[in-house]
Chains A and B, each alone.
Chain A
Amino acid sequence: DTGVSQNPRHKITKRGQNVTFRCDPISEHNRLYWYRQTLGQGPEFLTYFQNEAQLEKSRLLSDRFSAERPKGSFSTLEIQRTEQGDSAMYLCASSFETQGNQPQHFGDGTRLSIL
């Protein structure tokens, strides 16, 4: 169990640029979640995958955001035309779902700063 891995750890970019983050879940985990955490707040749900299928998207996920999980393995989260308000920590979590109480394992996150 190598844990959930996220890359990069930090990303600084200019407003209007596109950015892409990667998440590698724990290998046998079938569910993968993306959350966003702003300063002084708890994480907020963005989207989740069951294997390769994206099953739910939050209202926070505007049309500038897109997420993929090809082949049900790693996932990418892309933000197009970044805005100041996109500055946040983006967290990825994974779990192996059989029954509802399975905990989500979180990665270290990617901190995005928009200049």
Chain B
Amino acid sequence: AQTVTQSQPEMSVQEAETVTLSCTYDTSESDYYLFWYKQPPSRQMILVIRQEAYKQQNATENRFSVNFQKAAKSFSLKISDSQLGDAAMYFCAYRVDYGGSQGNLIFGKGTKLSVKP
């Protein structure tokens, strides 16, 4: 069964600095999708960035980028020029897409990011 591990329960970053959140996963599949979601306190979970496993190029969305290491099964999120609004829980998620399991996400336990002014 696939699993997603986020080893950092909490992280802190100074405003305008860069922070990297770690995520590892376990799967025997070769084609899959990985996502980072952000969940601000008492607010909706929103997609930050996504990566297709067949693409070697790391995904980038403005200040957010990933370091996808397929062989190591690692998918870290880098936030550059951190802003106060980046403070939230960040969840790494793996998408199941085979057989009868089509589309549901497997989430890690999350990393709580604090941004210091």
Residues of A within 8 A of B (CB): 3-4, 31, 33, 35, 40-45, 48, 55-56, 58, 91, 95, 97, 100-101, 103-109
Contact = CB atoms under 8 A, between A and B. Distances in A.
A48 B103 contact: yes
A103 B44 CA distance: 14
Given A41-B109, A108-B44, 15 more contacts: A3-B44, A40-B109, A40-B110, A42-B4, A43-B105, A44-B107, A48-B104, A56-B104, A100-B95, A100-B97, A101-B33, A103-B35, A103-B47, A103-B50, A105-B47
A87 B91 CA distance: 21
Contacts, number: 61
Interface of A is mostly: loop
Interface in B32-46: 33, 35, 37, 43-46
Nearest to B89: A42
25 contacts: A3-B44, A4-B44, A33-B104, A33-B105, A35-B105, A41-B109, A42-B4, A42-B91, A42-B93, A43-B91, A43-B105, A45-B104, A45-B106, A48-B104, A55-B100, A56-B104, A91-B45, A95-B103, A100-B97, A101-B50, A104-B47, A104-B103, A104-B105, A106-B37, A108-B43
